Amino acid sequence: MRPMIAWLPLLLLAACAKDTRPFKAPVKLAGKTIPAETLNLGRTAYLQYCRACHGDQGKGDGPSAPALRPPPRNFTQGEFKFAGVLDQKLPRDEDLVRIVRSDLHGTAMLGWEVPDRELNAILQYIKTLSDAWKDDDAVGEPVVPAPDPWGTGKEAEAIARGKLLYHGFAQCLNCHPAYVTPEEISSASQQLSDHPTTDFRPNMYLPELKDSDYTAPDGKTVKLLPPDFLLNPVRSIQPGTELTDLYRILVAGVTGAAMPAWDPQVLPDKGRDMWALAYYVRSLIRMRGTEEALAFKARLASSTPHPRGPE
């Protein structure tokens, strides 16, 4: 009996010391095999840094989520608005790091200074929350901006061209506000498409609320309000890299939102026009929140009665 009694405490200890690590083996995610050790570290770090907003299971239903607008990302859907890759596929690790390290302006997602090892583990763990990452080809190719054709001394020309494109070809004012008069819009569309625009949405100087692919924890579709560039910060635009950030968003689109991906080749002057749009939007962003911007919007709103489209 003595040997049995001697081993009894160890047997009881082993029974109580249940292994709580959820990952026992490596997992293949987007074509890469991720060790279980990394995923277990990622889960622990996720619960420390991310759970409060994104929830235990990554469904965007953390304890802080009800008070947040826009709501936190639901990772189980496998969609990332600012991925910065072609064909609106899933982001690369570099893109996810950019999103986490940088502020998403106007949201509760501030830049996080998570240690590199933990951050990498968190990103790998997040991939386990959606089946979208099981596809070996799930990750997209990065948007690589073409060389800026406008260069030094041509900024005013680029802005003027971008203004024409914004209002007369790309029809950005269907979601974002217009920044010119109806007469100027008709003239711009006449120049670029030979079909002058004559119908305008009722509140053309305000952004239009749009449906998204994003579903809130209560199952309802989340509507998103595109930014008014003179009033609202643009989510993933950073000081010093505004032009390339804007180019990336224009070409990649905003996954799950109403912002489509634009192929530079469909624009009248292809790559030059994509950069021109970026220059024009940057010129608006630089005016944001100033007295000049507020006065400009007031003049637009009062210069002519708001034209109304079909009821």
Cis peptide before 35 (omega within 30 of 0): no
State the DSSP code for 22: S
Supply the CATH number for residue 112's domain: 1.10.760.10
| Amino acid occupying residue 273 | D
Query: What pLDDT does 17 receive?
Result: 46
Query: What pLDDT does 303 receive?
Result: 66
Structure-block tokens of residue 196: 């002058």
Q: What are phi and psi of 161, to 5 degrees?
A: -65, -40
Report yes or no: 263 and 208 within 8 Å, Cβ to Cβ. Answer: no
| 205 plus 71 within the same structural domain | no
Distance CA 278, CA 41 (A): 40
Full residue range of the structural domain in which residue 164 is found: 155-303
The answer as to whether 232 is a domain residue is yes
| 179 plus 276 within the same structural domain | yes
The answer as to whether 203 is a domain residue is yes
Query: What pLDDT does 10 receive?
Result: 46
Structure-block tokens of residue 98: 């950019």
Report yes or no: 230 and 179 within 8 Å, Cβ to Cβ. Answer: yes
The answer as to whether 147 is a domain residue is no
Query: pLDDT for 230-280, tens place per residue?
Result: 999 999 999 899 999 999 999 999 999 999 999 999 999 988 999 999 999
Distance CA 279, CA 51 (A): 38
Query: What pLDDT does 302 receive?
Result: 81
Considering its fold, how many domains does the chain have in total?
A: 2
Query: What pLDDT does 69 receive?
Result: 83
Closest to 278 in 3D by CA, of 186, 174, 143: 143
| 103 plus 184 within the same structural domain | no
Report yes or no: 170 and 262 within 8 Å, Cβ to Cβ. Answer: yes
pLDDT < 50 positions in the chain: 1-5, 7-17, 305-311
Last residue of a domain, one of 134, 168, 198: 134
